[in-house]
Structure 1
Amino acid sequence: MSRYLISFENGAMDHIPEEDFPEVGKAAHAVVREAQEAGVLRFTGGFDYSAGVGHAVVGTDGLVMDGPYPESKELIGGVMIVSVPTREEALVWAGKIAAACRCPQDVRMFMDDPELVD
Protein backbone atom coordinates (compact mmCIF):
# COMPACT_ATOMS: atom_id res chain seq x y z
CA MET A 1 0.00 0.00 0.00
CA SER A 2 1.12 3.51 -0.72
CA ARG A 3 0.43 6.50 1.50
CA TYR A 4 -0.93 9.71 0.05
CA LEU A 5 -1.23 13.19 1.51
CA ILE A 6 -4.48 14.89 0.55
CA SER A 7 -4.43 18.57 1.52
CA PHE A 8 -5.78 22.01 0.82
CA GLU A 9 -4.40 25.51 1.27
CA ASN A 10 -5.27 27.68 4.22
CA GLY A 11 -7.98 30.02 3.01
CA ALA A 12 -9.32 27.62 0.38
CA MET A 13 -12.63 27.48 2.25
CA ASP A 14 -12.95 31.26 2.70
CA HIS A 15 -15.61 31.39 -0.02
CA ILE A 16 -18.02 29.32 2.10
CA PRO A 17 -20.60 31.36 4.02
CA GLU A 18 -20.25 30.96 7.78
CA GLU A 19 -23.77 29.56 8.10
CA ASP A 20 -22.77 26.66 5.77
CA PHE A 21 -19.87 25.48 7.94
CA PRO A 22 -21.94 23.08 10.07
CA GLU A 23 -23.09 21.35 6.87
CA VAL A 24 -19.52 21.28 5.50
CA GLY A 25 -18.24 19.83 8.78
CA LYS A 26 -20.93 17.16 8.75
CA ALA A 27 -20.06 16.21 5.15
CA ALA A 28 -16.32 16.12 5.89
CA HIS A 29 -16.84 13.96 8.98
CA ALA A 30 -18.94 11.56 6.91
CA VAL A 31 -16.03 11.10 4.48
CA VAL A 32 -13.64 10.59 7.41
CA ARG A 33 -15.93 7.92 8.87
CA GLU A 34 -16.17 6.26 5.46
CA ALA A 35 -12.36 6.23 5.17
CA GLN A 36 -12.08 4.78 8.70
CA GLU A 37 -14.60 2.05 7.88
CA ALA A 38 -12.75 1.27 4.65
CA GLY A 39 -9.51 0.92 6.64
CA VAL A 40 -7.61 3.50 4.57
CA LEU A 41 -7.45 6.47 6.95
CA ARG A 42 -4.10 7.02 8.65
CA PHE A 43 -4.61 10.60 9.90
CA THR A 44 -6.71 13.67 9.28
CA GLY A 45 -7.01 17.15 10.71
CA GLY A 46 -7.17 20.86 10.08
CA PHE A 47 -4.84 23.59 11.24
CA ASP A 48 -6.00 26.39 13.54
CA TYR A 49 -3.86 29.44 12.89
CA SER A 50 -6.02 31.58 15.17
CA ALA A 51 -5.40 29.51 18.31
CA GLY A 52 -2.55 31.71 19.54
CA VAL A 53 0.09 29.10 18.68
CA GLY A 54 1.53 30.38 15.45
CA HIS A 55 3.22 28.56 12.65
CA ALA A 56 6.97 28.33 13.13
CA VAL A 57 9.97 27.11 11.16
CA VAL A 58 13.05 25.70 12.90
CA GLY A 59 16.23 26.12 10.87
CA THR A 60 19.12 23.67 10.72
CA ASP A 61 20.93 25.90 13.21
CA GLY A 62 18.03 25.65 15.67
CA LEU A 63 16.87 29.21 15.03
CA VAL A 64 13.08 29.50 15.35
CA MET A 65 11.28 31.78 12.92
CA ASP A 66 7.63 32.66 13.34
CA GLY A 67 5.47 32.30 10.25
CA PRO A 68 6.00 30.33 7.08
CA TYR A 69 9.42 29.57 5.65
CA PRO A 70 10.47 32.66 3.65
CA GLU A 71 10.24 30.84 0.31
CA SER A 72 6.85 29.31 1.19
CA LYS A 73 3.86 30.74 -0.61
CA GLU A 74 1.14 28.84 1.18
CA LEU A 75 0.08 27.39 4.49
CA ILE A 76 -1.75 24.09 4.64
CA GLY A 77 -5.32 24.37 5.88
CA GLY A 78 -6.09 20.69 6.40
CA VAL A 79 -4.79 17.21 5.63
CA MET A 80 -5.86 13.61 5.26
CA ILE A 81 -3.40 10.75 4.91
CA VAL A 82 -4.70 7.58 3.31
CA SER A 83 -3.06 4.24 2.63
CA VAL A 84 -4.40 2.81 -0.62
CA PRO A 85 -3.13 0.48 -3.36
CA THR A 86 -3.28 2.96 -6.26
CA ARG A 87 -3.04 6.64 -7.10
CA GLU A 88 -6.47 6.38 -8.67
CA GLU A 89 -7.97 5.34 -5.33
CA ALA A 90 -6.21 8.25 -3.61
CA LEU A 91 -7.77 10.56 -6.20
CA VAL A 92 -11.21 9.12 -5.42
CA TRP A 93 -10.76 9.94 -1.72
CA ALA A 94 -9.48 13.41 -2.66
CA GLY A 95 -12.60 13.91 -4.75
CA LYS A 96 -14.81 12.98 -1.81
CA ILE A 97 -13.00 15.43 0.47
CA ALA A 98 -13.08 18.14 -2.22
CA ALA A 99 -16.84 17.78 -2.53
CA ALA A 100 -17.35 17.77 1.25
CA CYS A 101 -15.03 20.71 1.95
CA ARG A 102 -16.04 22.58 -1.21
CA CYS A 103 -12.46 23.24 -2.26
CA PRO A 104 -9.82 21.59 -4.46
CA GLN A 105 -7.44 19.07 -2.91
CA ASP A 106 -3.74 18.51 -3.57
CA VAL A 107 -2.65 14.84 -3.75
CA ARG A 108 0.94 13.73 -3.15
CA MET A 109 2.41 10.26 -2.69
CA PHE A 110 4.85 9.62 0.16
CA MET A 111 8.12 7.89 -0.70
CA ASP A 112 8.34 4.31 0.47
CA ASP A 113 10.69 3.82 3.40
CA PRO A 114 11.45 0.16 4.13
CA GLU A 115 12.36 1.02 7.73
CA LEU A 116 8.87 2.35 8.47
CA VAL A 117 5.98 0.04 9.22
CA ASP A 118 2.59 1.06 7.84
Structure 2
Amino acid sequence: MSQYIIYFHQQWVGEHSDEWFAERGALCNAVVSDMRDAGVLVFAGGVHEDMDAAFTADASSGTPVISDGPFAPAEQYIGGLTIIDVADVDDAKRWAGRIAEACGWPQEVRRVS
Protein backbone atom coordinates (compact mmCIF):
# COMPACT_ATOMS: atom_id res chain seq x y z
CA MET A 1 0.00 0.00 0.00
CA SER A 2 1.13 3.55 -0.73
CA GLN A 3 -0.13 6.84 0.58
CA TYR A 4 -0.93 9.73 -1.73
CA ILE A 5 -1.93 13.30 -1.02
CA ILE A 6 -4.57 14.76 -3.31
CA TYR A 7 -4.87 18.52 -2.94
CA PHE A 8 -5.90 21.75 -4.59
CA HIS A 9 -4.93 25.37 -4.35
CA GLN A 10 -7.71 27.72 -3.32
CA GLN A 11 -7.12 29.85 -6.41
CA TRP A 12 -8.11 26.89 -8.65
CA VAL A 13 -11.66 26.93 -7.26
CA GLY A 14 -12.85 30.06 -9.06
CA GLU A 15 -15.94 32.15 -8.43
CA HIS A 16 -19.25 30.29 -8.13
CA SER A 17 -22.68 30.79 -6.62
CA ASP A 18 -23.62 29.54 -3.16
CA GLU A 19 -25.95 27.04 -4.82
CA TRP A 20 -23.10 25.67 -6.94
CA PHE A 21 -20.92 25.19 -3.84
CA ALA A 22 -23.77 23.49 -1.96
CA GLU A 23 -24.21 21.02 -4.82
CA ARG A 24 -20.46 20.32 -5.00
CA GLY A 25 -20.21 19.83 -1.26
CA ALA A 26 -22.70 16.99 -1.37
CA LEU A 27 -20.85 15.39 -4.29
CA CYS A 28 -17.49 15.68 -2.53
CA ASN A 29 -18.89 14.25 0.70
CA ALA A 30 -20.20 11.26 -1.27
CA VAL A 31 -16.72 10.55 -2.67
CA VAL A 32 -15.18 10.81 0.81
CA SER A 33 -17.83 8.39 2.06
CA ASP A 34 -16.97 5.99 -0.78
CA MET A 35 -13.26 6.23 0.12
CA ARG A 36 -14.09 5.50 3.76
CA ASP A 37 -16.22 2.50 2.74
CA ALA A 38 -13.41 1.23 0.49
CA GLY A 39 -10.95 1.47 3.39
CA VAL A 40 -8.56 3.85 1.60
CA LEU A 41 -9.32 7.14 3.39
CA VAL A 42 -6.68 8.39 5.82
CA PHE A 43 -7.84 12.00 6.07
CA ALA A 44 -9.80 14.60 4.10
CA GLY A 45 -10.54 18.22 4.87
CA GLY A 46 -10.66 21.78 3.71
CA VAL A 47 -8.16 24.36 4.90
CA HIS A 48 -9.32 27.61 6.47
CA GLU A 49 -9.14 30.34 3.81
CA ASP A 50 -8.11 33.24 6.08
CA MET A 51 -4.34 33.56 5.57
CA ASP A 52 -4.25 36.11 8.41
CA ALA A 53 -4.99 33.20 10.76
CA ALA A 54 -1.97 31.23 9.51
CA PHE A 55 1.18 31.00 11.59
CA THR A 56 4.67 29.61 11.08
CA ALA A 57 6.85 27.45 13.29
CA ASP A 58 10.54 27.74 12.34
CA ALA A 59 13.31 25.98 14.23
CA SER A 60 16.08 26.46 11.63
CA SER A 61 17.98 28.71 14.08
CA GLY A 62 18.02 25.91 16.66
CA THR A 63 15.20 27.46 18.69
CA PRO A 64 11.56 27.23 17.67
CA VAL A 65 10.16 30.62 16.66
CA ILE A 66 6.41 31.00 16.16
CA SER A 67 5.35 33.85 13.88
CA ASP A 68 2.02 35.14 12.64
CA GLY A 69 1.27 34.61 8.97
CA PRO A 70 2.48 32.19 6.33
CA PHE A 71 6.20 31.38 6.01
CA ALA A 72 6.46 33.24 2.72
CA PRO A 73 4.02 35.22 0.60
CA ALA A 74 2.53 33.05 -2.13
CA GLU A 75 0.22 33.55 -5.06
CA GLN A 76 -1.38 30.18 -4.37
CA TYR A 77 -2.11 28.34 -1.15
CA ILE A 78 -3.63 24.98 -0.32
CA GLY A 79 -7.41 24.99 -0.08
CA GLY A 80 -8.01 21.36 0.85
CA LEU A 81 -6.43 17.95 0.91
CA THR A 82 -7.16 14.25 1.02
CA ILE A 83 -4.74 11.52 2.02
CA ILE A 84 -5.42 8.01 0.80
CA ASP A 85 -3.69 4.65 1.27
CA VAL A 86 -4.08 2.61 -1.91
CA ALA A 87 -2.59 -0.43 -3.64
CA ASP A 88 -1.00 1.45 -6.53
CA VAL A 89 -0.77 4.64 -8.56
CA ASP A 90 -3.71 3.59 -10.72
CA ASP A 91 -5.97 3.56 -7.65
CA ALA A 92 -4.62 6.99 -6.66
CA LYS A 93 -5.42 8.32 -10.14
CA ARG A 94 -8.93 6.88 -10.01
CA TRP A 95 -9.72 8.49 -6.65
CA ALA A 96 -8.14 11.79 -7.70
CA GLY A 97 -10.32 11.80 -10.80
CA ARG A 98 -13.42 11.20 -8.72
CA ILE A 99 -12.51 14.05 -6.36
CA ALA A 100 -11.77 16.42 -9.26
CA GLU A 101 -15.09 15.56 -10.88
CA ALA A 102 -17.04 16.03 -7.65
CA CYS A 103 -15.32 19.29 -6.71
CA GLY A 104 -15.34 20.82 -10.16
CA TRP A 105 -11.73 21.99 -10.07
CA PRO A 106 -8.28 20.41 -10.64
CA GLN A 107 -6.48 18.29 -8.08
CA GLU A 108 -2.76 17.66 -7.79
CA VAL A 109 -1.54 14.25 -6.60
CA ARG A 110 1.78 13.32 -5.04
CA ARG A 111 2.98 10.16 -3.39
CA VAL A 112 3.84 10.49 0.28
CA SER A 113 7.23 8.98 1.03
Q: TM-score, normalised by structure 1?
A: 0.84
**Which structure has the highest helix share of the two?**
2
How far does residue 13 in structure 1 lie from its aligned partner after superposition? Answer: 1.7
Question: Which residue does 2:53 correspond to in 1?
Answer: 54
| Cα distance in 2, alignment partners of residues 69 and 86 from structure 1 | 33
User: Where does residue 26 of structure 2 map in the other structure?
Assistant: 26
Q: Answer yes or no: is the 8 Å Cα contact 1:68–1:75 preserved in 2.
A: no
1:57-96 superposed matches below 5 A? 57-60=56-59, 61-70=63-72, 72-96=74-98
Q: CA RMSD in A?
A: 1.9
Gaps of 5+ in 1: 112-118
Paired positions, count = 110
% identical equivalent positions: 35
When structure 1 is superposed on structure 2, of 62-71 and 7-16 the one drifting more is: 62-71
The TM-score normalised by the length of structure 2 is: 0.87
- Provide the rounded CA distance (Å) in 1 between the counterparts of 2:99 and 2:43: 14
Task: Provide the rounded CA distance (Å) in 2 between the counterparts of 1:63 and 1:72.
Answer: 20
Summarize deviations over 1:43-74 as a string: whole Å, max 9, x none.
00001234x97111111132222222226553
Runs of 4+ with deviation above 3 angstroms: none
Is there any run of 5+ residues in structure 2 with no aligned partner, and where?
Answer: none
Q: Which amino acid aligns with 1:13?
A: V
